[in-house]
Structure 1
Amino acid sequence: MSSDATPGPYADPLKFGQRVQVLRQRKGMTRAQLADLIGASPHTLKKIENGQQQAPGLDTVLRIAEALRVRDLSELTGHADTHVDLFIGPGHPRLAAVRAAIDNFALATEAEPPPIAHLEARLHAAWKARHEAENHREAIGRLLPDLIRDAQALARAADSAADRRRAQALLSQTYSLSQFFIAYQPDSALLWRVAERGMVAAQDSGDPHAIGVAAWLLAQAHRDSGPRHFDAAEAINTEAVRFLKPLLPDAETEVLAIAGALEFELGYTAARRRATGTAWRHWDRANSMAARLPGDYYHPVTSFSRAIMGAHAVTVAVELRQGGESVRQAARADEMTIPSRPRRARHRIEEARGYHLDAQPDVAIAALEKAFKAAPETIRYNGYARRIILEEVESKQAPRRQRASALAADVGLLAA
């Protein structure tokens, strides 16, 4: 190895700032770009990297880890005893079986594929289970292997053009359900395979709703991969909105709902870019579309509805780092109108982020406790929740530290 080669972040005697610099350069980020993402000046970041400033507090360390998409704090600290994976939740016990079903491409089989109506009913039940179960990954992880195999078999065996299109729509929906199970687990390649296969199956089906759902999920996969993929996420969402727009005057409810969900996703990505006006403009458009839906309607995949727009407003304000606004929006949003347990838990996490931004850590912890009560598996796999808990575990206020530590133990966040 040449003497001037870039050292690895585990090489001694690298200090914290040197690790930040190495990881930043490996991500292809400039110092100004990272500084903007963590809310610091380039001058301050330079001093951290050069060792002219002491290692920052935990809150700043976590912001740096988030911006660099560091998977483990030890990559930044160099200490094995800080083995905490921030952005990928634990591998679910059923992940291996789901992966095997997805990767299985049986070209010939004697198994009789199920009737289309039978698979439709099972998928409907699976989506229902996902929304109603506390541990929704366990609920759908148990069902997915057979659903995937049967959906693949049905797509292979379909005879008529109409049956093939219908089977491809069901296959796409099965991949969509799979993506909810796989997200934030330690197999990002599997997530991408599912997202892309879902889009291919949806396009083969020609079903506008299936195409919209697949685009919604594929765009999320890009957006959650970090700022360098925001353009791709935005392009997918924009194309899907353009595709559905001519259908909207006479659209069925589910098509209108997925179009509204896609419109909001454009606002979400804009908020992640800190584009305030654009973010709220897309939220307004999505809200107008939600107003056309029946009052009790709830989209089975995206949760798009009239009720969810309040929760979406909290998310936009949080991503724009508008702490006060996020708290005001949280006060307006009625979480009891959100029937899906995992979506309700996600809303509570967004509330916690808002309260944390607004310097109300005790209220943030209370919101996270409610999230855990609604759907434990949602908070276990959510990087934002994990970050807040980790910070408050170090609080100087004993009661707050004790609550955060108890929640960390419940979530299984800290390594033994």
Structure 2
Amino acid sequence: MRKADFGARLRSHRERAGKTRTVLGGLVGRSEEWVKAVENGRILQPRLPMLLRLAEVLGVTDLAELTGSGSMPVAALTKAASVPGDRVVAVMTSHARPSARTEPDVDRFLGRVDQAWQLWHTAPAGKAAIAAVLPDLLVEARATVAHLDGTARRRAGTGVARTYHLAQQLFAFSPHPEMVWLSADRAMAAAQDSDDPAAIAAAAWYYAHVYRSSGQLGMAHDVVVDATAELDPHSGEAEQLARWGKLQLAAARTHSKAGEEGLAWQCWDRAKRAADALPAGYMHPWLMFGAAEVAATAVGMEADLFHPGRAIRRSATLDLGGLPAHRRAAAYIDIARAYQLTGDPVGLVHMIGKALRENLDVTEREPFVRQALLDLVDNGGPVRDDARELALVVGLLR
């Protein structure tokens, strides 16, 4: 078998696993024709997220068995530091009927949700912090909506959706990918039950992120378009305009991931106009929509569209001071992607280091970071030692 023949390797592992093309395609969210095209070499080797999905479904423990490149253990790329979410998993998968110990208090519940989001944005170890509060908050969320009706139930439903958004943040890039989907689905259901277009818009933004991460760009686009239609950006309400702008960013990033440059920048332009129309210095309290978020998203889009020089030039004028640490880390990771595309290992290592200093919690679980560091440890030349130090930090090496 030729080393470069990814399709042949994929076919061999599929047949060894006893799966038809139809079954394999369904398990990774693709069609039988897509699998056939990859195996026949008509479609290039997929990117890392899809490679990891294929490896998981086929029982492949080292991506080298599929790619033919240097060893890349699947566990090292997908199961970073353990996520302290076992209690959250237990609550989310429990079917026990919720019982309210006291009379449901919607204002108290919504206040607790606000506090949990503040914790996520400010705690040095945000995932551990929200993992500690989410179990009780999820129990309260269920009990609150179960014992209310009418307007009070709909108000509480917006808080339930936001609680599941936090769960989605907790499980992102964790050993529990199924919990990300469950969180997104329950958040959308709660938002729809609340009959609140603003809540539905936020749920759509989070659902779109899950679809994009799994390569289902068409679904990401559809969920955003449906939610956008429910909002009026000309209502004069900052809240509604911010959520509309956030959805425009979601659409922009979906198009940039698909290589649809014109559509991507059209959506980004709409998001920028929305941010410019908001009060000076405005930042949505938990969706983080504002001018800084719009500017940071543009850097990631340039990297998606393979314009690394433009991404790096845009990054030179970024002001990330108003964003929480986890979002600053994400911005530095996008800049690192740009440096990788230019073939600049020094810039790549430097930006990964900055991301880690901003937020270890998020950066150490990012698949791009883990793959890039493994590559640099093997082939990093003068930055190999620096990459090794960072790889130790994120738990890739012992």
Range class of TM-score, shorter chain = 0.7 to 0.9
> 2:64: which partner in 1?
76
Range with greater deviation from structure 2 (180-189 or 347-356): 180-189
> 1:360: which partner in 2?
344
> 1:409: which partner in 2?
392
In the aligned structure 1, how far is the partner of 2:89 from the partner of 2:80? 15
Q: Is residue 154 of structure 1 aligned with residue 144 of structure 2?
A: yes
> 1:293: which partner in 2?
278
Q: How does 1:154-193 map to 2 (within 5 A)?
A: 154-158=144-148, 160-193=149-182
In the aligned structure 2, how far is the partner of 1:165 from the partner of 1:64? 41
Shift of the alpha carbon at 1:110?
Answer: 5.6
Q: Is residue 270 of structure 1 aligned with residue 255 of structure 2?
A: yes
In the aligned structure 2, how far is the partner of 1:221 from the partner of 1:231? 12
Shift of the alpha carbon at 1:302?
Answer: 2.8
Q: Say whether the 8 Å CA contact 1:65–1:76 is kept in structure 2.
A: no
Aligned pair count reads 372
Q: Say whether the 8 Å CA contact 1:175–1:197 is kept in structure 2.
A: yes
Match of 1:31 among 20, 35, 38: 38
> 1:217: which partner in 2?
206
Q: Is residue 239 of structure 1 aligned with residue 226 of structure 2?
A: yes
Query: Which SS does the other structure have where 1:394 is aligned?
Result: helix
Match of 1:320 among 305, 319, 322: 305
Q: Are residues 183 and 23 of structure 1, via their aligned partners in 2, closer, same or farther at CA, if it must alter by over 3 Å? A: farther
In the aligned structure 2, how far is the partner of 1:23 from the partner of 1:354? 33
Match of 1:256 among 221, 233, 241: 241
Range with greater deviation from structure 2 (248-257 or 403-412): 248-257
Q: Say whether the 8 Å CA contact 2:158–2:199 is kept in structure 1.
A: yes
TM-score by length of 2: 0.86
Q: Are residues 270 and 87 of structure 1, via their aligned partners in 2, closer, same or farther at CA, if it must alter by over 3 Å? A: farther
2:153 is aligned with what amino acid?
R
Match of 2:375 among 391, 397, 402: 391
In the aligned structure 1, how far is the partner of 2:344 from the partner of 2:110? 46
Q: Say whether the 8 Å CA contact 2:63–2:72 is kept in structure 1.
A: no
Shift of the alpha carbon at 1:21?
Answer: 4.3
> 1:120: which partner in 2?
110
Q: Say whether the 8 Å CA contact 2:83–2:170 is kept in structure 1.
A: no
> 2:134: which partner in 1?
144
Query: Which SS does the other structure have where 2:97 is aligned?
Result: coil
Q: Say whether the 8 Å CA contact 2:98–2:143 is kept in structure 1.
A: no
In the aligned structure 1, how far is the partner of 2:13 from the partner of 2:306? 25
In the aligned structure 2, how far is the partner of 1:118 from the partner of 1:155? 13
In the aligned structure 1, how far is the partner of 2:237 from the partner of 2:103? 30
Q: Are residues 215 and 396 of structure 1, via their aligned partners in 2, closer, same or farther at CA, if it must alter by over 3 Å? A: closer
Q: Is residue 135 of structure 1 aligned with residue 112 of structure 2?
A: no
Gaps of 5+ in 1: 1-12, 39-62
Q: Deviations over 1:247-296 (max 9, x none)?
A: 22124222211111111111111111111111111111111111112222
Gaps of 5+ in 2: 15-20, 26-33
Over the matched positions of the two proteins, sequence identity in percent amounts to: 29
1:242 is aligned with what amino acid?
A
In the aligned structure 2, how far is the partner of 1:269 from the partner of 1:89? 25
Q: Are residues 262 and 86 of structure 1, via their aligned partners in 2, closer, same or farther at CA, if it must alter by over 3 Å? A: farther
Q: Say whether the 8 Å CA contact 1:386–1:413 is kept in structure 2.
A: yes
Shift of the alpha carbon at 1:134?
Answer: 2.3
Q: Say whether the 8 Å CA contact 1:89–1:382 is kept in structure 2.
A: no
Q: Say whether the 8 Å CA contact 2:83–2:174 is kept in structure 1.
A: no
> 1:197: which partner in 2?
186
Q: Say whether the 8 Å CA contact 2:251–2:267 is kept in structure 1.
A: yes
Shift of the alpha carbon at 1:33?
Answer: 9.6
